[in-house]
Structure 1
Amino acid sequence: MRSAAAVLLVAAAVLPAAVELASPAPSTAIGPPLPGPDRAAPPAARPDLRAPGAPAVDLRLSGDPANRITLVLLGDGYTAAQQQLFHDQADRAWHALLDIEPFRTYQGFFNIRRVDVVSPVSGIAESESAGKVPVTPLGMHFWCEGTARLLCADEDATARWAGQGEGPQYLIALANSTEYGGAGGTGVTTLAGGSPDAGRIIQHEMGHTVGALGDEYDSAPSDPDYPNLSLVDAEEMAHDRTKWWRWLGAVSPDGGGPVGAYRSANGLYRPTEDSVMRSLGGVYNLPSREAIVEQLYRRVKPADAPEPAPGQVTGRPKLHVRPLALTGPRRLQIAWSLDGKPVDAGTADGTWLDTAVLALSPGHRHTVTATVQDTTDWVRDEEFRTQYMTSTVSWTVSG
């Protein structure tokens, strides 16, 4: 099992692109770890600072939690008097995430919940001082694995505060800090809520967490076990039909030229010259965008439960399918058929079909089928589209 990626890009506006971080095993981070024998790792045992019934607020309800991904935002190092600060920083973080594609288009796949964790102290452990123990509820601290900007949390404590959900959840912990830092790809995505780069950091980190993407910067570990990293060049990729071979030659969404195989200093190839997985403020290149969309559909179905339930129905009811909504002009496609032959739903959005208007043979049973499919050109793997991005339901109706 490959190690999870944890990130900390050095902002291009602050440092030149060549300044990047090394990666401590088992996580990865950007920039050489600074020397020093002491590390602010979580202690083996520390007081359980949970308070019963931390308030949870649903910030955004897109639909049935069983068929949505819930982003759970938690704060660490925010006292009772600083809860509004946490609220403001949490809002900025999730809005920034949903401002970058493909999260913008697929924001209807997410519910967003905030958990207001009150800390007995303000701020988190930010130094590498010997014996420094995180005393905040989530145990967040910099200098994780000896790397200054690598920001970690006690994953067990964070999960307890987040609680169980009805469907898949991603936990996002914000530290009450203005320092630059974060981590992604593990059980808890972290960022410094007060950092000026917080919005751009969460865009990068959630690429690890949601899309299982690797870092594309030059000093990242030479681990090709990610959909956006490869050991082989474009010619071999195309010949063997591996990695992002379907995307070779396609125009990058940032106008940065065609998708190819761009060699990094660590010996790996990346799809484009630059992207959000290489430097802050970029966009996801096409192979990375596809990887994120695919991961969403591994957790969420294209449609919620139909009405009535599939199977034998009595009378001549109206049949209703409920495709998940996309943001923007695109919609999931709906096709209806009667005994295998296409029929027109006769409705503006195609989400329901009135069986009373169907020409059914008296005394015979007929099968009405509805198929919902995401036909986005952001995915080129048609086998994946058929298996995960298509939902089919059928009803048996008597004539």
Structure 2
Amino acid sequence: MRPEARALVLSGSVLLLVFALLARGPVRAEAAGSGSMVVDNGDPAKRITLVLLGDGYTAADLPRYRAQAAAVWQALTVVEPFRSYQHFFDVRRVDVVSPQSGLRRGSPLGMHFGCDGIARLLCADDGAVAARAGAPAGPQYVLALADSDRYGGEGGGPTTTLAAGSPEASRIIQHEMGHTVGGLGDEYDAAPADSSYPNLSPRDAAVMRADRVKWWRWLGAADPSGGTVGAYRSGNGLYRPTRDSVMRTLGGVYNLPSREAIIESIYRQVSPIDHAEPAPGVVDGRPKLQVFPIPLAGGRRLQVTWQLDGHPAPTAAVSGDTLDPGQLGLLPGATGVVTATVRDTTPWLRDEAFRANRMTGTVSWKVRG
């Protein structure tokens, strides 16, 4: 949660048992920038990497830390939109060995409670964390887990923190990653009155609609949190999109404007196309052309359409993500430009300009008849 306002909760005990197998293996400290890939969904230059590090774990404690790290990722993948977009992320765990169990003065990542005078605010030494995480190969977020069962954490800054032993840990991380990935603000009544976040507004629904600002496109939509998207006033005087959400009550769901903000953040960092075969450009012979979108979880797929010289490709040549140049009907010696367009058609986004600019990708080949 942000330094100004932190409402935290997380439950990890059951998940620790579920992921106990991931804790097996040799106990050793990782060198800075190295680590173990817990989830490998593809080239880290084409994914967002979540780097998990621990503070306050001795060598003997590392199996517990590894289980807690696995539980953090599991907690994210059960809530939308992280569930559907989980293949856009890699997860790397770095094992940091502390000289003593628990958070003590001089611990490797400098984690401690009480930052900004708030007892539950958990901070880390961002420089120490960054040095241990290493230089990124692509976009990444860094999560520091503390060996503590206290209630605490923080999101939205260079380092997202979590008291990984807290009984409420799994719910806290869902809230905090809303800050970190989506740039979301707290929606509860006691949060500071800062309307700069995409899910907070000083204007009511009528003004938002008239001025076309904030979540105006979503007004009146049925929301997964229950009820409809509108402008609900909090005790701090700002409006929020729905009566409740994970940014207001831990354990809830992200409302539609917040889902859209998280998805937009993901696509600002990752292209919908993983790769294509053969490599785009001039193609000799007639190899089949294939585009590989980043897969979505839950059955939905990114849309793939094919064109030949700016017109829809013949149906006979197309089979999903693959095109057979031999079925294009090109005359011997003739050439044509084949283009594959990959587009995310999710209904969780209503900003069509953003969809066209960031959630759509193309690759092209020049083929001969």
TM-score, normalising length from structure 1?
0.85
Which of 76, 85, 92 aligns to 1:113? It is 92
Match of 2:195 among 214, 224, 236: 224
Indicate whether 1:244 and 2:223 are aligned: no
Deviation of the 1:254 alpha carbon = 2.2
Cα deviation code 1:30-86 (max 9, x no counterpart): xxxxxxxxxxxxxxxxxxxx9845861111111111110111111000011100110
Q: Which residue of the partner structure matches residue 43 of structure 1?
A: none
Picking from 42, 57, 63, the partner of 2:42 is 63
Amino acid at match of 1:146: G
Secondary structure at 2:112 match in 1: coil
- Select 1:382's aligned residue among 348, 352, 355: 352
Q: What is the aligned partner in structure 1 of residue 58 from structure 2?
A: 79
Matching of residue 163 in structure 1 with residue 142 in structure 2: no
Q: Detail structure 1 runs of 4+ shifted over 3 Å in the superposition.
A: 3-7, 10-13, 50-55, 344-349
Q: Secondary structure at the match of 1:104?
A: coil
1:315 maps to 2:285: yes
Q: Number of residues paired by the alignment?
A: 352
Residue deviations 1:146-187 (CA, integer Å, cap 9, x gap): 110000000111011111231111100100000000000001
Matched, 1:357 2:330: no
| Residue range with higher mean Cα deviation, 54-63 or 311-320 | 54-63
Give the counterpart letter for 1:9 in structure 2.
A
Residues 330 and 51 of structure 1: is their aligned pair in 2 closer, same or farther, counting only changes over 3 Å? closer
- Aligned pair in 2 of structure 1 residues 254, 119: CA closer, same or farther (>3 Å)? same
Which residue number in structure 2 is paired with residue 392 of structure 1? 362
Aligned equivalents of 2:349 and 2:212: distance in 1? 15
| 1:337–1:370 Cα contact (<8 Å) kept | yes
Calculate the TM-score normalised by the size of structure 2: 0.91
Shift of 1:363: 2.9
Amino acid at match of 1:297: Y
* More helix per residue: 2
Q: Cα RMSD over matched residues?
A: 2.0
Identity across aligned pairs (percent)? 61
Match of 1:34?
none
Q: Secondary structure at the match of 2:243?
A: coil
- C-alpha contact 1:234 1:245 (8 A) present in aligned 2: yes
Alignment of 1:159-308 (within 5 A): 159-255=130-226, 257-308=227-278
Give the superposition deviation at 1:10.
4.8
Q: Structure 1 stretch 50-59 or stretch 365-374: which is displaced more?
A: 50-59
The change in CA–CA distance for 1:265 and 1:199 in structure 2 (over 3 A counts) is same
CA contact (8 A) 1:76 1:137 kept: yes
Deviation sequence 1:226-247 (CA, Å, 0-9, x none): 1100010000001111100000
The separation in 1 between residues aligned to 2:198 and 2:37, in whole angstroms, is: 33
Moved more, 335-344 or 68-77: 335-344
Change in 2 beyond 3 A, CA 1:244/1:380: same
The correspondence for 1:99, drawn from 78, 97, 103, is 78
Using the alignment, how far apart are the partners of 1:213 and 1:307 within structure 2?
Answer: 38
Cα distance in structure 2, aligned partners of 1:124 and 1:349: 56
8 A contact 2:4–2:192 mirrored in 1: no
Distance 1:80 1:54 in 2: 19
In the alignment, structure 2 segments of 5+ residues that lack a partner are 12-28
Contact 2:184 2:198 in 1 (8 A): yes
Q: Distance in 1 between matches of 2:245 and 2:154?
A: 18
1:88 aligned partner, one-letter code: A
